[in-house]
Chain A
Amino acid sequence: MTPADFEFLQGLIRDRSAIVLETGKEYLLEARLEPLCRQKEIEDIPTLVRQLKTQARSPLEEAVVEAMTTNETSFFRDQHPFRVLKDNVLPEMMKRRDSLKSIRIWCAAASSGQESYSIGMTVKKDLPALEGWNVKILGTDISKNILERAQSGIYSQLEVNRGLPIPYLMKFFKQDGKTWVINDEVRRLTEFKFMNLIGTWPPLMKQDIIFIRNVLIYFDMETKKKIFERIREVLAPDGYLFLGGSESTFGIDDNFQRVEFDAGACYQLKEDS
């Protein structure tokens, strides 16, 4: 790939998704775009770039952005956020929302759905007192293809091997040959929708819990600030925000405070924010 091709793709991906690909990340572009070239029967990345230059806002452009934004995910990724959710955050929310009997949770980078379903399984298996409550888990992502996968709830053997404690597999999945399908009890709690975090946000109800994990690391400071600003509008004043292990609001948005629990930490809005 020539420096000019890299620069073109860097600009395109940045404009469409706000993902910053620094110089030196050529290998990442190649790793993600070479399979796309094969799939679309395009000879190589320089040819892909030539085609993109003549087809602005095309499905091909969308496919490039999708290839670059599809992030790794797994069930109960990192484990500890889900322990905090189960042991601290959901029990606390149940006390606060007891009169409404309603809890809204938003996974803002839902990818292929493992995070949403992990939350759903936690609700169903570990918090039986939520039976009869209106629990809604909204999953949004920039990739329409990946959302279709999320909606299907179908996972490979390797995917259910990763991070999913075996009692949850036994309770919530049905085997279909070499694949595993999430059951309706959990699926009913979830809904998946397209959303570009740097584009126009659709109207969102106030969310009690927001998961936006391992996505902000790809954005520059300005974009992170804008996203936190919008999150402040969507997060309930007493709600909780979960970020990825290497992410923080520190130095980006002073309106959040870190809340520590035994298994890990999350964030809440400061009272005066």
Chain B
Amino acid sequence: MNNHSTSDLLHAFLDGELEQSHEQPLFNELASSGELRNEMRELLAMRSAVQQDIEAFTPPLAATSNIFSTLGFTLPAATAGAVAAGEALTASSAATTVAAASWWSKFWLPSATALIGAGVTFWLLNWGYNSNLNAMAATQSAEIQKIRSEAAAQLADQANSFRNQLQNVEPKVVIQTQKVYVPKVEYRYIDKPSVADNSMKQNVNKSVLNTPIEESASIFAAHDRQPLYAQFSSGGNSIFPKQTSTYIASPISQDNALVESHDALTGEILEREFLPQDEPYYQRWSAKVGGVVSNWSSAPSTSLTAPTGTFKDINGQLMFFLSKDFSVGRKLGQEAFPLHYEGTISDRKIIRDQYSIVWWYGLSAQYQVSSLSFWGGVQPYITGFGGFSELGTHVRGEVGVQYPLSSLLSISAGYEVSGLFYEFQNVGFNTVKTGFNSGIIIHF
């Protein structure tokens, strides 16, 4: 067997064209000929290099666009996105028409989602969850108003009667009132018998007293058989009569309960206003502008490779509160994703150029855990997002904390994960990014 014929056999074998009957002679020759083995290695190296010629296997996006526009077809969605962002299309009218059509093909779904979201929000505002809350709030407000009115009328009669009495005695006395914020104090006191009554035993009791907030240290209980009083001072002047008893009581807890208006001269309660336990519900919105500095952290689900690096994005969020803690809304932003993928799948060379920046949009829901508020008002929150981008489905998740600077303004910081899922030439791609986010929130 001469060298030329064995090379022929080798070439045919590597091309999958060698008849089975010729394989064994080739293998025998390969076993004995170092030169033939070298030739095989060189041919394989050549083939391997050709398979890396990704550029040759990648039609330009502009060419794809031109073909589809010439035939009057809509550009496939994934290709359209890449064309719009990556390659400058020639400014032909046909290309412009295709770009417009592809633009609509990308955005009709997010637009429809936006309309549906707006409709749902409008319904919630007018007939849904919100209307029930508003009804509850209205009932509660009316109840409070009724208590206030009745108490005010009753106290006004008493005050007028008292003024009349005082003015009858001394016409020049000027009635002053002082509004005192009165917390409800639960306290423990020692029920000690008086000196004159040695037969009584000493007991430790617990009771509740409404006492002014200025009274912070000692609360004195009266004699066991007398009404309980709290001794306090305001502006250096004793308001309530000083008690003869010196038994010390220790506060256990306190809860803001009511506001009393006292006559500064007599200490009489002129007005008592109960504070509601729960705040009534009012419509509340928040708008947030934030950004993420993130790290591109995973490759696509395929065997393709992608560049790594640090990316940034910016986004805005408008939320409507369905309750004190739970809010829903819409979120819009743009984000950087890898510029291209390269690799081979099932002997197909794939190169995927795409946006460096994609826009995304969708619905967002957030729960802020007010009950876990700590460090002077810092509240944890968790946010979920589902929507669409110019390339495909987009989801985001976020956990963090927010801190109110005022009733109108808060700041937030957290950790965020985002995922983008799309298809190109029947190959599914996904990217997942993680990063730290921060934002400024306006409440209104």
Q: Do A and B bind each other?
A: no
Residues of B with Cβ closer than 8 Å to A?
A: none
